[in-house]
Amino acid sequence: MTERNLADGIASSDLGDDAVIAGKVGDEDIVLLRSGGRLCAMSGTCPHAGAPLAEGLVVDGTLRCPWHHARFDCATGEAVGAPAFGALDRFAVSEEHGVIRVGAKLPVQQPVAAANQPGRIVIVGGGPAGHACAEMLARHGAGSAVTLLSDDADAPYDRTACSKQYLAGKVGRDEIALPVPQGVLVRLATHVEGIDAAARFVQVAGGESIAYDHLVLATGAEPLVPPFDGADRDDVHVVRTLADADALVAWATEGKRALVIGSSYIGLEVAASLIGRKLEVTVVADADVPLEKTAGPEVGSMIRRLHESKGVTFKTGRTVKAWDGHAVTLDDGSRVEADLIVAGTGVRPRIALARAAGLALAEEDNGGGITVDSTLRTSDPAIFAIGDVANVPDPRLGHAIRVEHWVVAQHMGQWLARHLLGLVDGEYDDVPFFWSGHYDVSLRYVGHVASPEERHIDGDIAAKDFAVSFEEEGKRQALMTCGRDREALIFEAEA
């Protein structure tokens, strides 16, 4: 079907409030929408991953991306919600005599510097939470007051690609780099050894002290490798950082057979990426069905069949007992030959700094991590915690949770930056969201439940067209979708 030429105009009656129409102005893909009665025309493609924004949703003055739920201010085009950071181009719009026309591209509208400048801010951690916090602070004029300390040798990058596109060889380093926060002092390969909460400074390796008025702990989590003979060998890999992915790519270039321990989301994403590199892949997992603990057995079984159709072999209900560099020995005595091992068996929050500083920590059976209040503040009023390490109150569930997902960490960082700048009031209450890609199948998960036991399936899982609702204490709290992106957006908006 021919796309509408929005320069020629459309009938005003064709565009209702909060509706989105796709079209073109010259060669530009455009979305035209009405938000709160105001006409807006913007670029029609999400700068994060190229999603068609015409399939998105208008919510509270923002246009939300259908794939990864990035948010754009309808009036200014600003990317106000990660994972996108680049603003959308805006176009002039006129409405006369019942006809709406889109005109020339407008100048970029820069965010206004916040009136409240909160003093010296030190952020420990260069992952998604730390970077997003620094970038938002810089965007609103506070960059020169921010120091970002990262123990990673690489500048901030999209870590989700480490198990997906980058590991699969589909994108390069330049394509996964995150925007540099303007004015922020970013110190890489810098290890923070301690916090003096009374004097308000952090000490880095080498003895240097860095003072703060506000300290943000975005220390993230570290991968777990299960105990087995040979677990400390160089050919046992994890995938958390770009350096991890580089090491695995180097081994995969020489090897032919890979064994993945764990059928978690990241374990299966790694399996798919290594299949893409033409390796033979075996997944060993103690779970009988992949993803069963979060998605339920129906979705898990479908995902297993999908991976098997691509060549992955599963050894379920098994654990690794030993690895000698040539084969693993499983707990039933059987052996599986391999050239390398990748552990996708979960992570634990990095809380050593917080513990040594005397901050309140959450019990492990309640998710672990650093206890924070609804403004992401720890038990020390000058210290905040965000991302994988933070145990955060969830107003929908009525209790605190710790969530280990990329966009969740970014949204925490962005909200905290706005909070410190005085740009938001109230409490952090974003709905958790993550996505997981397996070949040509993408899963979206909105909300949070401790168990998928209470679930309702709508659609056809085998056909990869479904929505699974999950309840906790009789209330619908989460939704997993496949092939129903808009439904996931609507659930998020209404949660």
Q: Confidence band (pLDDT; 50, 70, 90) for 117?
A: confident
Residue 114 maps to a domain:
no
Beta carbons of 157 and 179 less than 8 angstroms apart = no
- Give residue 1's pLDDT: 45
465-476 as b/e, with b when 16 or more CB fall inside 10 Å? ebbbbbbbeeeb
Q: Are residues 267 and 213 in the same domain?
A: no
Q: Are residues 275 and 336 in the same domain?
A: yes
DSSP code at position 180? P
Residue 427 maps to a domain:
no
Residue 168 maps to a domain:
yes
CATH number of the domain enclosing 338: 3.50.50.60
In 64-223, where does DSSP find H-type helix?
Answer: 128-139, 165-168, 173-176
What are the pLDDT digits (tens) for 345-395? 999 999 999 999 999 999 999 999 999 999 999 999 999 999 999 999 999
Residue after which a domain boundary falls, among 420, 450, 477: 420
Residue 314 maps to a domain:
yes
- DSSP helix/strand/coil, 379: coil
Q: Are residues 352 and 339 in the same domain?
A: no
pLDDT for residue 462 is more than 60: yes
- What are the Cα distances from residue 6, in Å, to 44, 50, 114, 222, 248? 12, 21, 36, 50, 48
d(CA 479, CA 490): 10
| Percent of the chain whose pLDDT exceeds 90 | 97
Q: Confidence band (pLDDT; 50, 70, 90) for 2?
A: low
- Give residue 29's pLDDT: 96
Q: Are residues 181 and 326 in the same domain?
A: no
Q: How many structural domains comprise the chain?
A: 4
Q: Are residues 260 and 330 in the same domain?
A: yes
Q: Are residues 366 and 319 in the same domain?
A: no
Q: Are residues 231 and 321 in the same domain?
A: yes
- How many of the other CB atoms lie within 10 Å of CB of 390? 31
pLDDT for residue 140 is more than 60: yes
- DSSP helix/strand/coil, 96: strand
Residue 388 maps to a domain:
yes
d(CA 235, CA 249): 12
* Whole-structure pTM value: 0.97
Residue 477: which domain range?
440-494
Q: Are residues 314 and 335 in the same domain?
A: yes
Q: Are residues 370 and 452 in the same domain?
A: no
Q: Are residues 76 and 177 in the same domain?
A: no
Residue 388 φ/ψ, nearest 5 degrees: -60, -25
Residue 426 maps to a domain:
no
Token pair 């998605």 in the structure block, residue: 295
What are the pLDDT digits (tens) for 177-194? 999 999 999 999 999 999
What are the pLDDT digits (tens) for 327-336? 999 999 999 9
d(CA 88, CA 47): 8
Query: What average pLDDT does range 38-56 have in this prediction?
Result: 96
Q: Confidence band (pLDDT; 50, 70, 90) for 85?
A: very high
Q: Are residues 235 and 212 in the same domain?
A: no
Q: Are residues 89 and 130 in the same domain?
A: no
Q: Of 334, 341, 87, 307, give the one whose Cα is nearest residue 225.
A: 341
Query: What average pLDDT does range 50-75 have in this prediction?
Result: 97
Residue after which a domain boundary falls, among 345, 362, 381: 345
What are the pLDDT digits (tens) for 292-339? 999 999 999 999 999 999 999 999 999 999 999 999 999 999 999 999
CATH number of the domain enclosing 53: 2.102.10.10
